[in-house]
Structure 1
């Protein structure tokens, strides 16, 4: 079943100290005011910040799901087509993006809670 904009928000906003605040006409998901994902007004895709090189690797391997548009070519953002990705993979990507932007103490607390649960 394809992921939805509601899935993006439910997964992202369940992460510690995550919030949504718009910028550039996009719904921007943040941790401590650092953007880790964003959606355009039509909410047909989500751009997710990944580790260096991971965005282009995904876009090359699965171009029907992932892309790196020209305006993201100098960043680590990857565009994910919501109608082509499932919720579990989306959750994995959003969690990794959150981890890349969250402060070390917040990540450590999250990892400790994950290990206990």
Structure 2
């Protein structure tokens, strides 16, 4: 299961209270810190490609990041958004925290992950989401090796 602790730099919820989620021994606590500057797409691409056995390949009009051939994220050339294929737990946390930045991504009638508005997103959160999506799609043997 993906670690929600990586999503620890989230913004405050609309009521001004901090969200807390417990998942095993990992806790996510949000802060009311000001939103940082725009995500640097070059750094985001470099981070995604630094994950074990990741490749970048075209996917229709988007670029895709894949692990062992499985897509875990897609992004247009202009870097305006990122589709990231995380599980329900990460999706629920992020859409609750900032629904204007993190939207539910649908694939037909199914929920597939998150649609992230990159200009308004926090870089650390986006990298954490990429890591979570990579862990979800990567072979379990590879994720165990990466965690060591």
Report the TM-score range of the alignment, normalised by the length of the smaller protein: 0.7 to 0.9
> 5+ residue gaps in structure 1?
113-117
Q: Which residue, out of 105, 111, 127, partners 1:91?
A: 127
Q: TM-score, normalised by structure 2?
A: 0.68
Give the strand-richer structure, 1 or 2: 2
Larger radius of gyration: 2
Structure 1 residue 73: deviation in Å? 5.2
8 Å CA contact 1:44, 1:83 repeated in 2: yes
Correspondence list, 1:1-117, <5 A: 1-69=37-105, 71=107, 74-112=110-148
Q: Relative contact order (C-alpha < 8 Å, sep 6+): which is higher?
A: 1
> What's the C-alpha RMSD, in Å, of the aligned pairs?
1.8
Runs of 4+ aligned structure 1 residues displaced above 3 Å come to 69-73
Residue by residue over 1:60-90, the C-alpha shift from the partner in whole angstroms, topping out at 9 and shown as x without a partner, is 4311211125546513221111111121111
CA distance in 2, matches of 1:61, 1:73: 24
Higher helix share: 1
How many Å apart are 1:52 and its aligned residue?
2.5
